[in-house]
Structure 1
């Protein structure tokens, strides 16, 4: 997803949820500051290129995953019995889970936004290296590949870095326990459709 296209979607999301762009940017600056020396260049994501990729979302129910290259999104990590190649998250999982993933060779893609400053402060000092992302203007080694929820962001990253094939597991756009979650899933579906992933 080109940055110009994403920023138009982002402006609509800010309006829809009444989120603060200023707070998103403040969180990204905090991540960059705390992550100095830990932030990886985006080129590490080239490991995706040419692979058949499974992207696993939060509605995963243990169905068999055929693809050998696996990207988990957010809380989906609590539903799988393997260490994924890449984990894309805004860090709602507990710190120990993320630390252990990295120790076991998983590449972490950590996302900064206005509502997870406390998670950034808790997680970033505990891990070694990671790819950092923001919803707003990218800078230094804090990137913006597009995507709003962990799930659609993971799929957009897979496309951006040249996956040969992307198969989604555990993506249910109807199952939401709150109105906010329902709206987030609506935007995830819009983004995945714009990208031609669904």
Structure 2
């Protein structure tokens, strides 16, 4: 009997004693069917994804990954997790949040999606975790600026050279590895495909009380923080980028159905993510979700 149960969009690991996933009894992952469909749509070579996964796995130390993963679980479980995408609305969002939200509150955890980390740093907003495939924050990682932040780094065929350049930093820092194909003991599949939806799946799998999306515009214009090393301003989305947005929206739409114990909100200004399963919330009302207790 297989240790994995596949659904239309996800696969569940049912082996509680599995050494690579004993920390999570059920993990939602991208199913083989969905992965193959995405590979076909985007002309992805699965063998290159697997090669990248093995390269990242060799860089990581099992016990360091385990310790880092346990630390991140404690920072997410039962908390309100704010996930910041790099959409064009991000800068306006951060300005509004700084006026109304105590980021140092014990019940708040912030996750930056790739290049959005640059914007949060500019606004002096603490970053608990970074979820990235190295497209938009490579310089930050190469300069080892985010030393105290937990880095959840994704391996795929297009970022192998970047992974290799970060070898020394990865081996010494607080890193967790993720993949969209087969797993190893040190590189896991927590669901999702793009950095943004992958961050949401990670938070849900680690039992966040509430997940709130910011900067998830999914429009024809891409925010400048998506690729800050290449663009100084917002830019038009390519056909490939729009296709990735479509995939991300599909995966996000499915997410709340499988985690009924968590609440899901979308605080993105003018988001094209149209699903009633993510409650729309105004930025100034996010603070109302915090428990009535002392702010630190």
Q: Is TM more than 0.5 here?
A: yes
Q: Output the CA distance in 2 between the equivalents of 1:12 and 1:157.
A: 22
CA distance in 2 between partners of 1:29 and 1:58 (Å): 28
Deviations 1:90-116 (A, max 9, x none): 112454412211x2x111000000000
Over alpha carbons, which structure has the higher Rg? 2
Q: Secondary structure at the match of 2:157?
A: coil
Q: How does 1:2-21 map to 2 (within 5 A)?
A: 2-3=10-11, 6-7=30-31, 8-21=33-46
Which of the pair is proportionally richer in helix?
1
Residue 51 of structure 1, aligned match among 72, 79, 99: 79
| Aligned Cα root-mean-square deviation (Å) | 2.0
Cα distance in 2 between the residues matched to 1:37 and 1:194: 31
Which residue in 2 is equivalent to 1:168? 213
Q: Which residue of structure 2 lines up, in the alignment, with residue 76 of structure 1?
A: 116
Q: Which moved more, 1:90-99 or 1:127-136?
A: 90-99
Separation in 2, partners of 1:159, 1:88: 14
**Is 1:157 aligned to residue 182 of structure 2?**
no
Does 1 or 2 have the higher relative contact order (CA < 8 Å, sep 6+)? 1
CA-CA distance at 1:44 after TM superposition = 3.1
Structure 1: gaps of 5 or more residues: none
Quote the Cα distance in structure 2 between the aligned partners of 1:122 and 1:77.
20
TM-superposed CA distance for 1:36, in Å, is 3.7
The size of the alignment, in residue pairs, is 196
Unaligned runs of 5+ in 2: 1-8, 13-28, 222-236, 257-263, 265-277, 279-296
Q: Which runs of 4+ in 1 moved over 6 A?
A: none
Alpha-carbon distance change, 49 to 37 in structure 1, aligned in 2, over 3 angstroms: closer
In structure 2, distance between residues paired with 1:150 and 1:9 = 16
Shift of 1:77: 1.0
Query: Residues 74 and 94 of structure 1: is their aligned pair in 2 closer, same or farther, counting only changes over 3 Å?
Result: closer
